[in-house]
Each structure stands twice: as structure tokens, then as C-alpha cells.
Amino acid sequence: MGIPPKGTPRDEVLARLESFRAADVDWRSGRVWAYVYDAGREAEEVCKQAYASFLTENGLDPTAFPSLLRLENEVVGRVADHLNAPPGAVGTFTSGGTESCMLAVKAARDAWRAAHPDGGRPQVVLPHTAHAAFQKAAHYLDVEAVLVPVGADFRADPEAIASAIGPRTCLIVASAPSYAHGVVDPIAAIGALTQTRGLPFHVDACIGGFLLPYFERLGAPVPPFDFRVPGVTSMSCDLHKYAFAAKGASVVLHRDPAMRRRQVYACATWSGYTIVNPTIQSSKSGGPLAGAWAVLELLGDEGYLALAREMLDATRRIVAGIDAIEGLRVLGRPDMNLVAFTADGLGIFHVADEMKARGWYVQPQLSFAGSPANIHLSVNPKGGPWVDAMLADLRDSVAAARALPYGHLGAAVRQILADAATAPDGGGFGPLLAMAGVRDGALPERMAGINEMLDALDPALRAQIISDFVDDLFRPRRGT
């Protein structure tokens, strides 16, 4: 493609950019129940303005940009208070949940290595419902992920965690709440366990840390989940979720400053400027931090409480509505505004397609370790007015899905794999993808076939096939 030979007028550049959005999900419509956290136009505009005005400042060096140092200390301080961190606690602003989780694992890994110089490969104990970010962290950081089963209510099981603890355990993780089912793990019981064993305990409150305190104040039965629980040593809390900041905004907090110190990477053995990075990123825009700071100031405690009330009310109506639809079943009892439901006697992936055909975006989740294939809904404040319409279409979608065949593709895939002497390599997935409707790398309009096929595969094969697919998607058109 090369660099455009000549410049393009500014208006044309921006108009072309705008036109690329045409096929995106329309998140402003109120009909998208994943990916975007929307508190309305004013919050969006203020956040974008603040973001743009600090876009060029570089968080690499807080001494060159004391404005960013101030913003970070203010944002981290607010989140620390919100989560009842003790006075000496410290934290870091990061680019998102994954980075916050990764830094918590790095700090725990390095603490463990320092105490066990010849101890081998450290382990992190993860309930099956812990976010994939921790397995990613383990993968990147050469830590072993030890997965443990959860209870029938999808909450972590303290006894299963206790039996998974061994001499190489460097960190225990639990969620408040888990993304998949929206339930808070028994943090108090796990905290008691980790205290007894003298182990660090990270509460992943990436999605819930900001909102749960408001649900608690509104009288929802929120189990204890934050630094008030003895034994909790670190927490992650994303601001780009229910604090409604622009993406690229999260905070990781440590009860003990000595643990945060282990998060910091410094390098003085090269010929350039000295590198000191408390985060994975080195050069980083001040935009996400300024955007997060601004939206916290704009909405304030009162504003967030009002938004939380809308989400709590909408979630209760949605759970009751789904409970009333024959054939659907809510998985667990959500503690926040994240709802997962499955279908009995009909194809849940068809329900997702039928919803899409009616103009709704809902998120399919594949089955794993006792959690059946399901649909996930993240309830936005702006979703409130849409609840009745959404439930009516859900009812119709279930009726339409009942008439559609399901299960056959999954069975066929299982048969093909059983017949093959070995699992197909990357290139061997072509026929499977074609069976599921993928043509020339393009996804079909209806995704049930693909989802059913993936659902039938062993998780390792699933990961391989989606990696192949995505790897193939990102191919620039060269020489045009």
C-alpha cells in the first residue's frame, strides 16, 4: 500500500475515517449488550475532550510531566478510597484489566522467586471462572496456571483452592464478580485461607470494583469483596468499564507498598535514557488517564449512584424476565449487572442469531468446565429503557430458535475428530470452517454453526482454530 504519495485534505481524511465505521455494532443505539460502557453523551464528550487534550503528553517520565503524576495519584487515591484500601496502600494506573492482572501476577511471582531462589516455577491458583487475563499473564511471565473447579453456583470453592495450594504457589486469585456469570466469589473465606497460609491474594474486581460499592449502598446483597476483607493483598479495578472512562484505564492496588515495588521494572544497562516503568507500557499517552480523571470529576459520587440505580433496576427486571421465559435458565444468581443464561431443549446460539436479526447484539459464551453454552448480557445504564423491548424479542427469538435444528454440527465435528488419527493441524481446519459457513475468511451472517462447532471442540483445539482465524484476518493488502 505504501505511504500515500500526497497528503489528503483534513476534512476528507476525517470523513473517510468516519465511513469505516459503517459495519460496526451501533453501540449508541442501546441495543448492544457487550463491549461498550455508556453513561451518555455528556460523559462521553468530556472524557473525549480531556483525552484529546492530554493525548500527546507522555507518561514515560513523570518528572517531565508532573501533570500526569498528579492525575495518576488523584485517580489511584480515589479508587483506593472507593475500595477501602488502608492508608498505606499504593497503586498504579494501567492500560486495562489485563495489564492490571498481569502486574499483580508479576509482583507476586517476583516476591516468591526472591523467597525461593531455587524453588522452580511458581504457580498461580485460578478458579475456572477467573478471567483469561490471568492465564495470559501466566503464559507471558513463565508462571504455571493451576485451574480449580468452582461450585454449582459458579462461585470459587475455597476447599478446592486449599487443595490446589502447594510449595510453589505464589498467588491466589478470585473475582468480584466473574465476567462470565457475574457472581462474586467467597472472598472472605478465601482471604481467611490465604492469611492462614501466608499467601498473597488478588481480588480481580476489574469489572466490579467500581460498581459493586454502589450496588451495596443501594441495598443489594453484595458479599464482602474489597480491602475490608483481611487477607486481600491486591485488587484490580477498571475505570474503562463501569466508571465509564475511555478504554485504556484501569488501576491495580497493593495493600503493601513493598509488593508494588516488585511491579516496577528498571533498566540502566543500555546506552539510552534510564528506563523505570511501573507498567508494561513504557511510552504512553496521557489521554486515557486524563479522560478517566475527567469523567470521575464530571459524574461524581452522586452521578455514579444514580447510574448504578438504573443498572440495578434493569438487571433485576432482566433476570425476572428471563426466568419467566420457558426454555431459558439464568446461570447462578448474578451479584451485579452481568447476566448469563442458557437454553434447555433448543440451540442457545440460534437465540443469539435470532436476537441479532432483531437488531440486538448479545454475547455468546462457549461451554467450559460445568458452565453450559450461554448468552451473556452486560447491562448498561442506557439499556434500562430497552429492557421490555429486549425481553419481548428474546421471547420471540426463543420461539424461532425452537424451530431450528441444533446439535448436529457439533456431533459431526466430534465424529470427524474421532475419525482422524490425529487432530488436524492449522491447515486442516479449512473443511471444518467451510462446514460452519466460513467462506474466504469471511464470517457468515448467522454464527450459530461456528459457535456450535467451536463448542464441540476440546478447548485447546478451540484456541488453535480461533488463533488461526484471527491470524488470517490481519493481512494487509500489499502493493495496491
CA nearest neighbour of 288 among 30, 18, 100, 130: 100
CB 142 → ligand PLP: shortest distance, Å?
A: 20
**Cβ closest to ligand PLP, residue 73 vs residue 363:** 363
**Cβ closest to ligand PLP, residue 181 vs residue 350:** 181
From the centroid of its chain, how far is CA 420?
A: 35
Q: CA–CA separation, 181 vs 372, rounded Å?
A: 11
CB 7 → ligand PLP: shortest distance, Å?
A: 35
From the centroid of its chain, how far is CA 450?
A: 22
Helix (H, G, I), strand (E, B) or coil at 267: strand
CB 202 → ligand PLP: shortest distance, Å?
A: 11
**Cβ closest to ligand PLP, residue 206 vs residue 400:** 206
**Cβ closest to ligand PLP, residue 158 vs residue 177:** 177
**Cβ closest to ligand PLP, residue 224 vs residue 428:** 224
Q: Which residue is nearest to ligand PLP (CB)?
A: 97
**Cβ closest to ligand PLP, residue 131 vs residue 255:** 131
CB 210 → ligand PLP: shortest distance, Å?
A: 12
Q: Quick count: other Cβ atoms within 10 Å of Cβ 422?
A: 7
Q: CA–CA separation, 331 vs 335, rounded Å?
A: 12
**Cβ closest to ligand PLP, residue 106 vs residue 350:** 106
CB 350 → ligand PLP: shortest distance, Å?
A: 25
CA nearest neighbour of 155 among 104, 190, 198, 196: 190
CA nearest neighbour of 125 among 77, 169, 189, 177: 169
Report whether 334 contacts 315 (CB < 8 A): yes
Q: Which residues here bind ligand PLP, judged by CB under 6 A? A: 96-98, 101, 131, 133, 175, 179, 204, 206-207, 238
Report whether 26 contacts 32 (CB < 8 A): yes
CA dihedral 267, 268, 274, 277 (to 10 degrees): 20
